[in-house]
Structure 1
Amino acid sequence: MNGIRWIASYPKSGSTWLRCMLAAYTTGRAPQLWSDVHAESPELEAMLRFGDLPPLRPSEPVLVKTHFKADVPLLRPFRDGTAKALHLVRNPRDVLLNAMRLARIPRDDTERGRAFARDFITSKGLGLRSGPGGSPGYGTWPDNVRSWTESPGELFPHADVLTVRYEDLRADPVTRFSEVVEFLDLGRPVDGENIRHAVDSATPGRMRELAERSDRQGDGKKRPIHLGDRTEHDERMRTGGSDAEKPSFLGDGKDGQSLAFLGEDIESAYQELVHGDSGFAHYAKQYEYAG
């Protein structure tokens, strides 16, 4: 089956890790630079920045990654050309902490951390004031999840949809990634040996090596981006500046973390959010993130 296969997720939900595995699987070799990952599953946001777009009706399977909601007007032209939509969902608590790290807020900077967490809780996601990761097209966390899990039948009438929890992928990457590859239907039978090779190619250690190698070889500008942090990075690359003071794009993959280190009131406010009657609470409970 030809057509676009969206790799969709809210920012900081683990799509870079998944795309590294996909790059290793489709090429048969571990990606050495960020550009190797982009070549197999380009980011729609980055393509737009450089005046490019995926084909509207591909004559082969095409992987495209995005953080946009499924219902943004920008995706309407791809209505008939979309064959699959893989939605990767992650505990929003860990999304918050991962985004806070990328915003250069260390855990011991309690004042800034509390402000960041309050904004996330109030905005129900990465608001524009939350630094890297925020964009109007991404919406709130529940709006983003809803768009890819409940609306695709209307938005992409020819598409199959699969939602995968990041935590399940972490717990059993071989089994879950095999399911992902089978769902995406990339034009050939699923190969178990290639599945295991792809998983081994995207361990945290190997992904850190990939990031470091990319920076050393001048491929750092190809690293995964969010619209919120690209301008500053581009300026560094243009002027020859260093990214040494900028936190690694890659997190440590932890899940189920507490916000209590920012104060019990922050943890309590978050608990009220996930146990209330809002859309945020609905999806937190549905995906077992309300603990």
Structure 2
Amino acid sequence: MKYQNFWYPRCRLFKNTLEYQRHFEAKDTDLIIASHPKTGTTWLTTLLFAVVNRGKYPLSESPILYQHPHHLVHRLEDVHFREAIGNQLISFSDLNKLLPPRLFSTHFPYVSLPESIKTSNCRILYICRNPLDTFVSQWHFYSKIAKHLGGDQHLKPYSFEDYFEDWLEGRIMFGPFFEHVVDYWMKSLERPEKILFLKYEDLKYDPIQHLKRVADFVGIPFSPEEESEGVITGIIEMCSINNVKELEVNKNGVNFTGVEKRAYFRKGEVGDWTNYFTPNMVERMNKLMQQKLGGTGLTFKILLES
């Protein structure tokens, strides 16, 4: 189903979109992670939670070590949220009981955000990833969850080639990809105090510098003492995909949507697309990138050869 020029699956997710647009009330202290699927959402979730709560929990006792990341940060796509402990349902009215800063995440495009998010002083952290690695990660993820959330045209088992064709046309969940990314990018240029635009590759190549950006943006900067005591590097190591994917809580069981917890963790590498893309696919993706990103100033650190 196409709504506000983006594609949504014909299931409860679309209904929830309308519900949260109408009823969610953002607070000035809210912190919201926004992203297209499989662009580093889970990683940024753990990093943000660790940054915000570092004064509350020693790293050795962080809830990240015994709770799945998506149980720590509530997803706006769900009208009812489940608490990590007790598995209790939380309604919209209950969200007001959460202590500030409230942490949320969403895959919805900027146009679909509730007006209260756009007009309040809450802050958005948007993470994106180069489109080739994003495509490969999405294909693997949706292949894994198709059997759990089947029955919808956007979650059917896809061949790599078929998914590529739909991806280029933008007929994917929360797609088109480039429109999703560019909208947030342009808004971040207009309101840098409101939206922090992050790139997955930058976080991989220089995690310390960019984690400092995150801490500064949310108003909880690292002190010189914390930096000298290794707090920043400790958070980075704890939240690394190699560490988080091996935690027992993330290796077994399913989350409240019925998706296997381990499905959220694969390689997390930059450049894995080179193991999948044919030269023709690279050429077509390159042309689409030039078309969609031209004039925006947005670039990705990838080498495309055609």
TM-score normalised over the length of structure 2: 0.67
Deviations 1:83-102 (A, max 9, x none): 31211121011110001111
Deviations 1:5-44 (A, max 9, x none): 22111111112112112223313334123446533x3221
- The answer as to whether partners of 1:274 and 1:285 remain within 8 angstroms in 2 is no
Q: How far does residue 63 in structure 1 lie from its aligned partner after superposition? A: 2.2
Whole-Å Cα distance in 2 between the matches of residues 167 and 12 of structure 1? 13
Given the alignment of the two structures, is residue 69 of structure 1 paired with residue 69 of structure 2, yes or no?
Answer: no
- CA separation of 1:17 and 1:59: change in aligned 2, threshold 3 A: closer
- CA separation of 1:259 and 1:172: change in aligned 2, threshold 3 A: closer
Deviations 1:195-249 (A, max 9, x none): 2221111122211123x42454x5x315xxxxxxx4xx26xxxxxxxx5xx9732
Q: How does 1:88-107 map to 2 (within 5 A)?
A: 88-104=127-143
Whole-Å Cα distance in 2 between the matches of residues 187 and 204 of structure 1? 24
- The answer as to whether partners of 1:3 and 1:59 remain within 8 angstroms in 2 is no
- CA separation of 1:172 and 1:148: change in aligned 2, threshold 3 A: same
Whole-Å Cα distance in 2 between the matches of residues 14 and 214 of structure 1? 16
TM-score normalised over the length of structure 1: 0.70
Given the alignment of the two structures, is residue 118 of structure 1 paired with residue 165 of structure 2, yes or no?
Answer: yes
- The answer as to whether partners of 1:89 and 1:165 remain within 8 angstroms in 2 is yes
Secondary structure of 1:60's partner?
coil
Q: How far does residue 182 in structure 1 lie from its aligned partner after superposition? A: 1.3
- The answer as to whether partners of 1:70 and 1:152 remain within 8 angstroms in 2 is no
Partner of 1:286: 299
Given the alignment of the two structures, is residue 8 of structure 1 paired with residue 28 of structure 2, yes or no?
Answer: no
Q: How far does residue 159 in structure 1 lie from its aligned partner after superposition? A: 5.2
Secondary structure of 1:3's partner?
coil
Match for residue 33 of structure 1 among 61, 66, 69:
66
Q: How does 1:1-291 map to 2 (within 5 A)?
A: 2-25=28-51, 26=53, 27-29=57-59, 30=62, 31-35=64-68, 38-39=71-72, 41-48=73-80, 52-53=91-92, 60-72=100-112, 74-104=113-143, 112-123=159-170, 127-128=171-172, 134=173, 138-151=174-187, 160-186=194-220, 191-192=226-227, 193-210=230-247, 212-216=248-252, 218=253, 220-222=254-256, 230=257, 233=258, 248-258=263-273, 261-275=276-290, 277=291, 279-280=292-293, 286-289=299-302, 291=304
- Bigger shift: residues 193-202 or 10-19: 193-202
Deviations 1:137-178 (A, max 9, x none): x34222212332223688xx8952221111010012122112
Whole-Å Cα distance in 2 between the matches of residues 282 and 114 of structure 1? 29
Whole-Å Cα distance in 1 between the matches of residues 280 and 219 of structure 2? 47
Give the total of aligned pairs.
247
- CA separation of 1:71 and 1:52: change in aligned 2, threshold 3 A: farther
Whole-Å Cα distance in 2 between the matches of residues 14 and 285 of structure 1? 18
- The answer as to whether partners of 2:215 and 2:221 remain within 8 angstroms in 1 is no
Q: Report percent identity of matched pairs.
A: 19
Amino acid in structure 1 at the alignment position of 2:184? W
- CA separation of 1:48 and 1:186: change in aligned 2, threshold 3 A: farther
- Bigger shift: residues 169-178 or 140-149: 140-149
Secondary structure of 2:102's partner?
strand
Alignment root-mean-square deviation, CA:
3.5
- CA separation of 1:82 and 1:289: change in aligned 2, threshold 3 A: farther
- The answer as to whether partners of 2:31 and 2:101 remain within 8 angstroms in 1 is yes
Which sections of structure 1, spanning at least 5 residues, go unmatched?
106-110, 129-133, 223-229, 235-242
- CA separation of 1:18 and 1:189: change in aligned 2, threshold 3 A: same
Whole-Å Cα distance in 2 between the matches of residues 75 and 152 of structure 1? 17
Whole-Å Cα distance in 1 between the matches of residues 36 and 212 of structure 2? 22
Which sections of structure 2, spanning at least 5 residues, go unmatched?
1-26, 82-88, 145-157
Secondary structure of 1:61's partner?
coil
